[in-house]
Amino acid sequence: MLLKTVFLALFSGIFGFLLCFGGYRFFTIMLPVWAFFGGLWLGAKAVFVLLGGGFLGTATGLTVGLVIGVLLAIFSWQFYVFGLSLVGAIIGAWLGSGLMSHLGFETGVLHALIALGCAIVLGFLTYLRNWQDELITGLSAIGGANAIVLALLLLLGRVSVAGLQGAGTAISPILHDSPAWLFLWLGLTIAGIIYQRRVFREVTFTNQEFFKYWS
C-alpha cells in the first residue's frame, strides 16, 4: 500500500506540474482525453449524488461514468467547438459540486441542481463568448495545481488512496484539510495561468491544429 501511494503521488505530481505550466501547448491531444475523464466523473458523480453508495464505489456509477466518458470523447473529437463547450460544462458541474460538498451537501437533489446549473451556465458562456483559449489555460492550470497538491497530501499522509476514491471530487480533500493547502492550490493555479499566457501568447489553438493531430 505504501509503494502504491508513493507511485501515485509521484505520478500525480509530475503530471500535475506538466499540466499546470504546459497544458495549453499539449491540449491538441488532450481534448478527447479530458472529455472522457470528465464524462467518467460526471456519470459516477451523478449516480453518487442521486443514489449514494460512494464515488466510483458502485458498479452502476462506474458503468454510467464509462459510457458517458466514451460518448463525450467521441463527440469532442467529431465536434471541436462543442467538445470544448462540453468540457466547460463539466468544469462548471465540478465547481458547483465542489462548492456544495464544501458546504456539507454531499448528496441530494439540491446538490444535483446546483451542479447542473453551473454546468449549463459555463457551457453556454464557453460557446457564446468564444472562451476556448481561456478555458484551455484555466482548465490545465487548475487540474495541474490540483494534482500537485494532492501528490503532497498523499506523501505526507494527509489523505489516502481510499479517501480519494470516496471523496466525490478531486478538490474535496484540499478543501477539507488545512486552509494553507487551499492557498497553495490557488497560488499554483494563478502561477500556471500567468506562465502559460506569457509563454504561449503566440500559439493559436485552432480546429486545423486539433484535427492534424487526430487525423
pLDDT tens digits, 155-187: 887 776 665 655 545 566 666 667 788 888 899
Whose cell is 483559449? That residue is: 133
- Residue 54's region, left for phi above 0, alpha for psi from -120 to 50, else beta, is left
φ, ψ (nearest 5 deg) of residue 55: -70, 125
Query: Would you say how long the chain is, in residues?
Result: 215
Using CA atoms, how far apart are residues 20 and 13, in angstroms rounded to an integer? Answer: 10
Predicted local confidence at residue 11, as pLDDT: 85
Using CA atoms, how far apart are residues 165 and 150, in angstroms rounded to an integer? Answer: 13
Output the pTM of the full model.
Answer: 0.64
User: How much is the average pLDDT of 96-122?
Assistant: 79
